[in-house]
Amino acid sequence: MAQTFTMEDLKERLQARQHKMTPQRQTVLQIFLEHPGEHLSAEDVHSILRENKSEIGLATVYRSLELLSDLGILQKMEFGDGCSRYEVNTTNPSEHHHHHLICTNCGKVIEFEDDLMDDLEADIEKKMGFHVENHQVKFYGVCKECQQA
């Protein structure tokens, strides 16, 4: 199960990787704490910052998101539309994270918690000698709302 993080938790994770919590990084991370469960693009983050009268530019947002993603603090996801989206990386290395259901009609992303991949991973390890450390599963289809429309 995913856990909830505070700004102090995220600051400790950043410092453990020899990076400082700059005011810009803190502001960007605060956006994710205020929008739990949302998959935000750099443009989404920048738009929220502008609404909040922040002076942080789009290039700084991109740099911050890339660094935080490279450090494993944010998880970067691609949903096939050419736009990277991010969320706080809540994965425990001993557990797998949630998966995503992506509506090909409206673009909505729904998180799916059940992990049905354990047997497949064990089979891969047994047959191929390959130890799976993590995985991502994305299901593409049409959401309930779009089907009803």
16 with 73: CB under 8 angstroms? no
Q: Residue 91 has what pLDDT?
A: 62
Q: Residue 98 has what pLDDT?
A: 65
For residue 23, give Cα distances in angstroms to 6, 27, 41, 135. 16, 6, 20, 33
Q: Residue 115 has what pLDDT?
A: 66
So where are the chain's domains?
1-90, 93-149
Question: pLDDT averaged over the chain?
Answer: 82
Of 148, 124, 143, 142, nearest to 134 by C-alpha is: 124
Q: Looking at domain 93-149, what is its CATH homologous superfamily?
A: Ferric-uptake regulator, C-terminal dimerisarion domain (3.30.1490.190)
| pLDDT tens-place string over residues 1-25 | 344 667 787 788 778 878 888 889 8
**Cα angle vertex 66, ends 64, 70, to 5°?**
120
Rounded CA-CA distance 50/97 in Å is 31
| pLDDT greater at residue 125 or residue 9 | 125
The answer to whether 83 is annotated as binding is no
The answer to whether 135 is annotated as binding is yes
Q: Residue 2 has what pLDDT?
A: 45
| pLDDT tens-place string over residues 61-101 | 999 999 888 888 888 888 777 788 898 876 654 455 567 78
Domain 1-90 has CATH 3.50.50.60: no
Q: Residue 56 has what pLDDT?
A: 92
The answer to whether 98 is annotated as binding is no
The answer to whether 46 is annotated as binding is no
| Per-range mean pLDDT, top range of 33-37, 52-56, 77-81, 133-137 | 52-56
Of 58, 40, 99, nearest to 29 by C-alpha is: 40
**Residue 134's CB: how many other CB atoms inside 10 A?**
10
147 with 103: CB under 8 angstroms? no
17 with 43: CB under 8 angstroms? no
